[in-house]
Structure 1
Amino acid sequence: MKSDFPRILTLLRKEKGISQKQAASDLGISQALLSHYEKGIRECGLNFVVNAAEYYGVSCDYLLGRSPDRTGAVLSVDDIPEPDAAGKENVFHGSLLPTLNKKLIANSLNILFDMLQEVGSRELTTEVSDYLMAAVYKMFRELYSAHPKNPEGLFAAGTPVFRALASASMEISEMKVHCIAHGIDTEGITPLESVEALETSPEKLSNKYPLFASSLSNLIKSVETRMGVRRK
C-alpha cells in the first residue's frame, strides 16, 4: 500500500478532532490496530479503506494518496480557478501590502508564462513551474508550521529536512532552466533550438503587456533593492 496512506489516515483523524480510541471504535477495530495502520506498521484490507473513506468523507483514491482532490476527481485546466476569481478567498483585509505584492507577482507571472507559451518548450515550462511551486511550498510551510496546533500530516517531508529538500529541488530546476535556455547540451536536457521567441526589451514589454509591464518593472526594482543593487 502507498506510503501516503498512513499519513493521510492520521491527518484526517486529527482534522476531525477525535482521538485514536474514538476513531477505532467508530471504525469497528481496536485502537492498537488503528495505531498500526496510522504508523504504516501493518497494511489494511479493502473493507477498511472503504469504511475509512466513508467515515472521513473522502474518496478511496484520496485516502490512498492517488488523488490530491478529496473527491478523487482529476483536475483539468478548467477546474482550476483563475487567480483573480471573485470570493472571500481572494479578499485581503487590513494592510494593502499583501494585495500590492500579490498583484506585482501575479502580473509578472502572466508575462513569464506567456513567454514560456511562445517558446513552446514543455521541459522549460516544467522546470520554471517546479522552481516557482517549490518557492511557494517553502513559504506556505513556514507560515503553516508557525502554529503548533497545525497538523504536520499535511506534508510528507519531515520538518527537519523539508527546507533543504525544497532548496535543492529549486537549485536543480534553476540549473536545468539555465541549460535549456542557454543552449547547453547536457545529458537528460534538451536545449532550445532557437531563442528568437525570447527577444524583447522594456519598450516591447510595455507595448505587448500594457497592463502588466509596470508590475514586472516594479518587481525587478524591488528585488534588486533588497539585493543592495541600485540603478546607476
Structure 2
Amino acid sequence: MAVEFSRVITLLRKERGITQKQAAADLGISQAQLSHYEKGIRECGLDFVVQVADYYGVSCDYLLGRSAERSGQTITVEELPDAGGATAGSVYHGSVLPTMYKKLIENSLDILFDRLEKCRDKRVVVPVSNYLMLAVYRMFRLLYHAAPGNVSSMFRISPARWEREADAAMCLQESQLAATVAGEEGARPSPAAFEMNTESLAREYPRRATSLMNLIKNSEETIRRGVR
C-alpha cells in the first residue's frame, strides 16, 4: 500500500497546487507526519485513507492504486467508448481481451493526437507519429513472420536487418523529440498544449480519459514486471 498511496497523495496535492504545510493542517496532522506518508516512510491507518479520499474527492481504491480511475470505477470492455475508427465495434472471435486493448490504445491515441493538434509544431508531431508507426510496423511484421508461408517480399528491408534498423529508427525519433523539447533544435515548443493533470484530463476527455489512465497503469505494471 505504502508505495502507491505515497505517490498518489503527493500527486493529488501537487495537482491541487497546495503546500504540504497547508494539506497537513487541513487534514489535522503535522507537516512532518504528512511528509513521512508522502515519502512512504510510514504507513497510515485506514481512517486516514478515508479522510484523504474525502479531502481530495477521490475513492480509496484510487488512493491505494487499485483503480486507475479517480472514482474507483472498475471498467469493462462495454463501458469503454469506441474511437470510431475502421476497427470500431470489431468482434474478435468471442474474446474481449483484444477488444479491451484496442479501445485502451485507440482512445489514448485520440488524446495524444488532440494534444499534438493543439501544439501545431511539426518538430513534435513528426517524431511522435513516426515512432508510433514504427511500433505498429514492428508488431505487425513479427506477427506476419509467425506464419512461415507468408511471402517475405512484402517488405523491402531484409529479415536479417529490419529489427535492429527499426530499433535504431525508433531511438532516433525519440532522440529528435527529446532534443526539440529541450530546446536544442531552436525555440522550445509551447508547453500550453501539454499542460494537464488527472483532473483536467477527466474533464476535457470524459469518454477517453478512463482508457488513458488504465493504459498508463497497465504499461507501468508491464515495465515493473520486465525489470524484476
Q: What TM-score, normalized by structure 1, do the two folds share?
A: 0.58
Residues 1:100 and 1:224: Cα distance change in structure 2 (over 3 Å): same
Distance 2:86 2:166 in 1: 31
Number of positions where the alignment pairs a residue of Structure 1 with one of Structure 2: 144
Distance 1:146 1:121 in 2: 38
- The answer on whether the counterparts of 1:179 and 1:191 sit within 8 Å (CA) in structure 2 is no
Does the residue aligned with 2:149 lie in a helix, a strand or coil? coil
Does the residue aligned with 1:227 lie in a helix, a strand or coil? helix
> 1:125-155 CA distances to partner (integer Å, 9 max, x unpaired)?
1100000000000000000011111001110
* 2:92 is aligned with 1:92: yes
Q: What corresponds to 2:205 in structure 1?
A: 209
- The answer on whether the counterparts of 2:124 and 2:177 sit within 8 Å (CA) in structure 1 is yes
Does the residue aligned with 1:228 lie in a helix, a strand or coil? helix
Residues 1:107 and 1:147: Cα distance change in structure 2 (over 3 Å): same
Identical-residue share of aligned pairs (%)? 40
Unaligned 5+ segments in structure 2 are 1-81
Q: What corresponds to 2:107 in structure 1?
A: 107
- The answer on whether the counterparts of 2:83 and 2:103 sit within 8 Å (CA) in structure 1 is no
The equivalences for 1:152-167 within 5 A come to: 152-167=152-167
Which letter does structure 2 place at the counterpart of 1:165?
E
> 1:11-41 CA distances to partner (integer Å, 9 max, x unpaired)?
xxxxxxxxxxxxxxxxxxxxxxxxxxxxxxx
Structure showing greater radius of gyration is: 1
Distance 1:156 1:97 in 2: 32
Alpha-carbon distance, 1:196 to partner: 2.0
Distance 1:91 1:183 in 2: 45
Which letter does structure 2 place at the counterpart of 1:202?
T
Alpha-carbon distance, 1:157 to partner: 0.5
Alpha-carbon distance, 1:221 to partner: 0.4
Which letter does structure 1 place at the counterpart of 2:213?
S
Q: What TM-score, normalized by structure 2, do the two folds share?
A: 0.59
Alpha-carbon distance, 1:178 to partner: 1.3
Alpha-carbon distance, 1:88 to partner: 9.8
Alpha-carbon distance, 1:183 to partner: 2.1
Distance 1:199 1:179 in 2: 19
Distance 1:88 1:208 in 2: 22
Alpha-carbon distance, 1:191 to partner: 4.4
Does the residue aligned with 1:146 lie in a helix, a strand or coil? coil
Q: What corresponds to 1:52 in structure 2?
A: none
The equivalences for 1:142-181 within 5 A come to: 142-181=142-181
- The answer on whether the counterparts of 1:104 and 1:215 sit within 8 Å (CA) in structure 2 is yes
Distance 2:202 2:144 in 1: 37
Residues 1:150 and 1:191: Cα distance change in structure 2 (over 3 Å): farther
Residues 1:154 and 1:83: Cα distance change in structure 2 (over 3 Å): farther
Alpha-carbon distance, 1:98 to partner: 0.5
Q: What corresponds to 1:218 in structure 2?
A: 214
Distance 1:110 1:176 in 2: 22
Q: What corresponds to 2:116 in structure 1?
A: 116
Distance 1:156 1:111 in 2: 33
Distance 2:85 2:106 in 1: 13
Unaligned 5+ segments in structure 1 are 1-81
Distance 1:87 1:203 in 2: 29
Alpha-carbon distance, 1:85 to partner: 4.6
Alpha-carbon distance, 1:90 to partner: 3.6
The equivalences for 1:1-232 within 5 A come to: 84-85=84-85, 90-184=90-184, 189-228=185-224
